[in-house]
Structures are given as structure tokens and as C-alpha cells.
Amino acid sequence: MIDREKAGVWIQRGYQLRAKGQYSEAIAFYQEALNFNPDEVEAYCQLGDLYWRQGQFIEAIAHCQGALKLDPQSAEAYKTLGNILQSQEKWTAAERAYEQAVQILPKFAAAHANLGSLYYRRGDPERAIASYQTALVLEPSQAGIHWNLGMLYHDLGRLGEAVESWEQALRIQPEMGTAQQHLKIGNTLLALAQVEAAIHHYQQAIALQPNFSQAQSNLGNALIQQGSLEEGIAALKTAQTLSPQLPGIHYNLGTALLQQGYQHQNLSGSEWRGVVDCFLQAIALDPDLIAAHHALFYLIRSRDPFGRDFDSLRHAAEDYLSLAQGPLRLLAALPYLSLCLHGGYSDLAWETFLTIETQLQSDLDSLDFDSIALLYSRLMFSQPHLRDDARANLTLAKLLGSKNQARLNQQSISLPHLPHPPTLPPLKIGFLSPHFRRHSIGWCSADIIRELSGLSAEIYLYVTQAQVRDDKTQEFQNIATQFYQPQSGNFEAARLELIEQIRADKIDILIDLDSVTCSDQLEILYRQPAPICLSWLGFDAPFLSSAHYFLGDRHTHPPGIEPDYIEQLIRMPDSFVAVSGFKRQSVEREVVRLSLGISWKHIAYLCVAPGKKLNRELVKAQIQILKEVPNSVLLHKGEGERSAILQLYQQACTELGVPTNRVILISRTSTEEQHRAIYECADILLDSYPYNGGTHTLEALWFNLPLVTRVGELCLARMGYSFLNTLGIESGIARSWEEYIDWGIQLGQNVKIRQEIRHQLIRSKQPKHLSPLWNPAKFAQDMYEIFEDLRQQQIHIN
């Protein structure tokens, strides 16, 4: 028997239980209502909705159909049916159900909102937005719809509108603002650079959930962006204590502590190690956290800004390498390689290099572009210090160069073609470098650039990194038509600024002075901001682009080697460089020699090579020379870990039976003029191999010191050979260690040969017999003519 009144009572009780979340109990009451009134449409609708919420789709659909059988115009039943079908990803059927609901009841806000959710999930954002907005016009006080609309805006990248929708939801219904939701709003505001507002929401999240470590961590980051570094670090430390298992928190804290060190321009040894440990812990928890890998790489690479000793740096590098897994071990090995190389641990550097080279074959393609950039710059720099093997080195260079090109292509900037003008005014020549100062690049380029400026060329100098100005910088500035240093603080912005400036200056030829030793500036060169781009002087070719050139000479790059390079090789007619000389501090030869324990009877060999240019074979050859030349000593001067360099020489002395006191390590001096006094005290320079000396060798030859140099297969092992050939001197050129030792012995024992070489060197500087090596005016003229030819070729091609 039908009893509508009792059915209504059971329905009301069902509403109450449902409101409390007691769905199973509510279902029982609605079913009881149907016992009293089998035609109760509302009971069917409520049961359909509750069964749907419990995932019982068959029962849910059956009750919706029951409602529609009783009332085909039940908009509520169609809405619930749409919800069930949407949960099953039956998009078309669900859309029909919602549309039927709003056709029956056009002002049915919930149906419009749910239709919006369907479009959102199906990937139709514009229709989703329209449906949500319709729902809000009908019922603007629905906080949930505002929140969902905000989520949609967020996914579309419309962050400002997302925050506005979320905050409107919280104004309507503050209690819906959970800690997670405040975190999301805070993160979005931080992305919009609205730091103060982000901090407020992070604090709200923490107030709701005091142990919310992610909110503490993000609050710390926001406070740091605000400039409250100490408060930010405190928040990050709290987050680290709350959730030591979250890698991002360790990374953020390490970054903040490092920033604090830079701000104070100091990190004690324990503080520095604390930063290292933060990054190590982040990597231990997430081996693929690339940001932590890169941060650790830059912190412990060879040039540490906080004055850490080699031991501390190397121990950190060892810990990093032992922790890294998979392809990222390639990245982790780079700081260790660099530290061993710069410190003078050549055997360890060589072993590490070979391990990296072997692993490259399987893992290089798995690395991100930033890691590839680091591998490119570090391995290209390291390999000529460790190996003189044209086939192996050029194969590796091509591999790394091609991967780096792929990276640059992926990040490319579309720039229009730069045509040459129909008439040819004087060349505009631009130079890229951070080293327009007292630096090898500065000493070797200044005279040539000065002479170029006198050949009707306009000279534009572009500083690619922050550099300390000195008297040499002023000299460059006086030469230049324009001396340009970007105003932007970070490299990405500075790079774009420099590209724009170079194009605005309408440079004809852009010259990179550093190659892979300053790999960041190669990104500028790769964008071709001038019609002709080339590398010269600071290193071998960067293997960057077949549209570019590399400038060497016939000695460094003998004919026939072209197929092994990516760049087009062009050659100066004499040497690849020329200088007008060097100044030095005046000293009394015998006074300084006596201060070093060297008498007038001693033959003093000199090796001016940093640790990265030393190796066991070189040191052994030098000690073999000492063994065969009585009363000889070796002066060694160069940057590196003193204990490592001393150990190399001591081991060779022990093996060959030479007293270790015949090797004298000389400390570095504060100025180049003071350093050059050492050439007055020595009798013979023993060049390094496989990476010859550059500026130091030029200095020694300028001060008339005979040279022993071993000639290798590739450019950087042929610099001494190029210098001697340009000077017309054959004595001292060796093609094996045996010849190197033999020349060292001959020059030490035969004073006549030394005198002849000195005479040739003195004569080479006389105006009548001036060698091209000491004639930057001739070099500049030859260079200008080569550049004019390149410009003509480009015009014909275009």
C-alpha cells in the first residue's frame, strides 16, 4: 500500500545521512522510501547518485533509468546519468545526457558545470570554459565551480585567471581552502612573480597543517626571492627536518646556503661541505634530479669561488661520482676529471677520461641537453691535454660537436638572413671574449687588433662574461670603435642582448677568441649574428658548424686534415699568431739564480706548465735529460696542486736515480712582468706535450730562450713547432720522446748550439730581419686580406 507521507519521512532521513557522508545508511533509507512509494522519482534519483559515488555503476544506471521511466522529464536523473557515463569515459553518451538535462531545465547550473567538466577531461577547453561560465551566471555562489574553472585556467597557462577563480572560491566558501589548495595558489602566484601574495598562501597552508613540509620548503624559496634570505633558510631547514626523504627540499636548501655564501663572499670549509651534502642527499634520494647534478657540478669543478683546497674539492668529487647512477655518471665524472687534470694527477685524469669515453657510446643519447653541453665543453677541453691521437680525438670531437649542434638547434632562435651591402665599406670586425684583459688571449690578440684598427677596419669588442678590468682592458677599449659589455646579469639575457647588438652594428666578420674554453659564447656564434663567423686563437676548432671557419696556419693544421674538421679551415701564411713583444721586471740573472740555489755553472732547464699540462711521460723525459746533463737543474713553474706535481717529479727522480733536489718548484708571481723574469734565469725551455705552451712559449722565445718542443698530430700539440718554423729554427723540434730527450741533452751540453739559437732569436727581432712571429702589422694585413676574400666569396654565394 502506497504511503507518500512515510516515503517522504524516509527520504528526509536519507538526506540527513547523505549530508554526513553516511552513504550506505542513506541508501537503505531511500530504498525503504520506495517500499512505501514505488513511484517516488526523487528516491530513484538519490539512489542513482549514491550508487555512482560508490562506484556501483550498474545499480546507479538502473535507478536513473527507473527515475526516467517514471518521469521522462527528470533533469536530475539525466544529470546523474551523465556523471555515471563520464566516470566510464563514455564521452558521447555522457554529453547527450547532460544536454538532455539542460534542455529540460535550461537554468540547471550543476548540469552546465558537469558538462564543463566533461569537456575539460575530453580536451576541449574552450567549450569547458563556456559551460563553467554559464553555470556561474546561473549560480555565482558555487565555490566548487569557481575552483574547477581555476584548475582549467591553470592547465591552459592562464595563471592570473586561475588565481582569480580560486580566490573567488575561497571568498565564497573559506572552509574549502585546504592546505594543499593554498599551496597550489601560492605556487601559481610565485610563478607570476607575486611573491608577497604567494608567501601569504604558504603561511595559510602551514597554519592549517603545521607539519606541511612542501609548504615550508616553498615558503623558504619565496622568502629568498623576497630578499629575506635568513628567514628563507630557516623555513627550508624546518622543511628538511619534517621531510628528510624529499629530494627537492635538500636541493632547495643547498641552493639557498650557496646563495648565502655568495652574498657574504665567504663559506667556511664546513659550510661549503654542508652545501655539497645537501646536493648529494638530493641525488641519493632522486638519482635523476638533474638540477642537483648541475648544481653540484658547478660547485666542485676546478675553479671553486670560495678558495677550497684541491683535497676538499676532490673528496667531494669522489663522493659525487660514487653516488651517481646510470647515464648521469658521465656528468658526475666530469668534476673529478677536471680536478685531477688541473691538480696534476695525470694518471687519474687519464683513467677517468677513458672511462667517460667508453660510457659515452651507450649513454650519451640518454642525457638532457644541458648535460650534453657540459660534456661537450669539458671533454673537448680535456682530451688534448691527455692524448695526441688525431683519429681518436677528432672522432670524439665530431661526436660531441654533433650532439652539441642538436642541442643548439633545439634551442635555436630564428633570425633573418644578413646580406652584405651592395658596396663594400671597410670591414667591421667583431671579437667575442671575456678576456680583454691580462690573460693569454689578451696578450696574444691586443697587438693584432691594434694593427687591424689601423687598416680602415672598424673594431667592435664584445665582452661575453663579467670580467675584472685592468690596464689591459683600457688598452683594448682605446683600440675599439665600440667596447660593448651587456647590462643583463644572467647569460641567457646577455646572450640575446649581444646577438641583437652585433646585428645592429652590422658586423661583417665575428671572431670567437676562445672556442670551447668559453663554450657559452659559442651559443652566440652558432646563431650566426654576422655573415661570417670564425674561431681563432684560444683553442682548436669548436666543431660547431660547417658554415663557420677556423683560423690556424699550415704548421698547426697541415694540408689534408680538412675532412676531419666540421669548420672550414683557413690558414695564415706564417704563424697563427704574432706579438710585438713582452715587458718584464728587470732582474740580475745571477742574483736570482743564487736565490734559487743555482750557480753560474748550472744549466737551468725551465718548464712553465700548469698541472693540467703535466703527465708522467713528460716528467720522465725531463728527468732523463737532467740525468744525462751534469750540473743541470729543472725549474718548474705552474698552477696546480703542489703536492701532486712534486710527487710526479719525485717518482721520476727515484726511478732514474736523480737527486730530487735538482727539481725546484717555483711559486707563482702576482704579475706577468714579475713572472717573465724567470726567463732571464733559465737556459732552455722544455715545452709541455701533448698540450704545448702557448703564451709562455712565446714569452720564452721573445726573451731568447732555446726551446725543446715535441710535435704532435693535432693543433695544440703543434704550437711550439709552428713558432720555431716561423722563426726559421730547426733545432729543438722533436717528434718522439727519444728526440725530445736528445735535443734536451744536446742543448744542455753544447753551449755553441744554444748561442746560435740565441743569435737567431735576437736577429729575428731586428727590423731588417723581423720574423712574422714578431710582426703583428704583417699579420693584421694578411688577416685583413683573408677576411676581404671571405667577404667576396660570401657575396658570390649569396
Question: For residue 413, what pLDDT is reported?
Answer: 56
Q: What whole-number percentage of the chain has pLDDT above 90?
A: 71
The model's pLDDT over 573-621, given as tens digits with 9 standing for 90+, comes to 999 999 999 999 988 899 889 989 899 899 999 999 999 999 999 999 9
Question: For residue 53, what pLDDT is reported?
Answer: 87
Quote the CA–CA distance of 678 and 595 in Å, as a whole number.
Answer: 12
Identify which has the larger pLDDT, 26 or 344.
344
Q: Under a CB-based contact definition with an 8 Å cutoff, are residues 82 and 45 in contact?
A: no
The model's pLDDT over 353-378, given as tens digits with 9 standing for 90+, comes to 999 999 999 999 999 999 999 999 99
The model's pLDDT over 149-188, given as tens digits with 9 standing for 90+, comes to 999 899 899 999 999 999 999 999 999 899 999 999 999 9
The model's pLDDT over 299-332, given as tens digits with 9 standing for 90+, comes to 988 666 777 888 889 899 999 999 999 999 999 9
State whether the Cα torsion 94-98-99-100 is positive or negative: positive
Domain ranges of the chain: 4-188, 229-410, 428-572, 589-774
Categorize the per-residue pLDDT at 457 as very low, low, confident or very high, splitting at 50, 70 and 90: confident
Cell reading at 575: 704563424
**C-alpha to C-alpha distances, 300 to 270, 312, 334, nearest whole angstrom:** 14, 9, 10
Quote the CA–CA distance of 161 and 125 in Å, as a whole number.
Answer: 14
User: Collapsing DSSP states into helix, strand and coil, what is residue 606?
Assistant: strand
The model's pLDDT over 263-289, given as tens digits with 9 standing for 90+, comes to 888 889 899 999 999 999 999 999 999
* 5, pLDDT greater than 80: no
Quote the CA–CA distance of 388 and 738 in Å, as a whole number.
Answer: 16
Query: First vs last Cα of the chain: how many Å apart?
Result: 97
Question: For residue 646, what pLDDT is reported?
Answer: 95
Mean pLDDT over residues 208-235, rounded?
Answer: 95
- The fold adopted by the segment(s) 229-410 is 1.25.40
Tell me which amino acid residue 607 is.
C
Phi and psi torsions of 707, nearest 5°? -125, 135
Tell me which amino acid residue 783 is.
M
Quote the CA–CA distance of 515 and 377 in Å, as a whole number.
Answer: 9
Cell reading at 205: 597552508
- The fold adopted by the segment(s) 589-774 is Rossmann fold (3.40.50)
Categorize the per-residue pLDDT at 118 as very low, low, confident or very high, splitting at 50, 70 and 90: confident
**C-alpha to C-alpha distances, 773 to 162, 321, 794, nearest whole angstrom:** 67, 45, 30
Cell reading at 106: 535550461
The model's pLDDT over 724-756, given as tens digits with 9 standing for 90+, comes to 999 999 999 999 999 999 999 999 999 999 999
Question: For residue 281, what pLDDT is reported?
Answer: 97
Quote the CA–CA distance of 322 and 438 in Å, as a whole number.
Answer: 39
Check for a shared fold between 4-188 and 428-572: no
pTM of the model: 0.81
Identify which has the larger pLDDT, 356 or 17.
356
- The fold adopted by the segment(s) 428-572 is Rossmann fold (3.40.50)
Q: Under a CB-based contact definition with an 8 Å cutoff, are residues 333 and 319 in contact?
A: no
Classify the phi-psi angles of 164: left when phi > 0, otherwise alpha if psi is within -120 to 50, otherwise beta. Answer: alpha
Mean pLDDT over residues 687-704, rounded?
Answer: 98
Question: For residue 349, what pLDDT is reported?
Answer: 95
Categorize the per-residue pLDDT at 1 as very low, low, confident or very high, splitting at 50, 70 and 90: low
Helices (H) and strands (E) in the chain, counts: 36, 13
Mean pLDDT over all residues of the chain? 92
Question: For residue 120, what pLDDT is reported?
Answer: 87
Q: What angle do CA 443, 449, 451 make, to 5 degrees?
A: 115
Question: For residue 415, what pLDDT is reported?
Answer: 56
- The fold adopted by the segment(s) 4-188 is 1.25.40
DSSP string, 689-725: SSS--SHHHHHHHHTT--EEEE--SSGGGSHHHHHHH
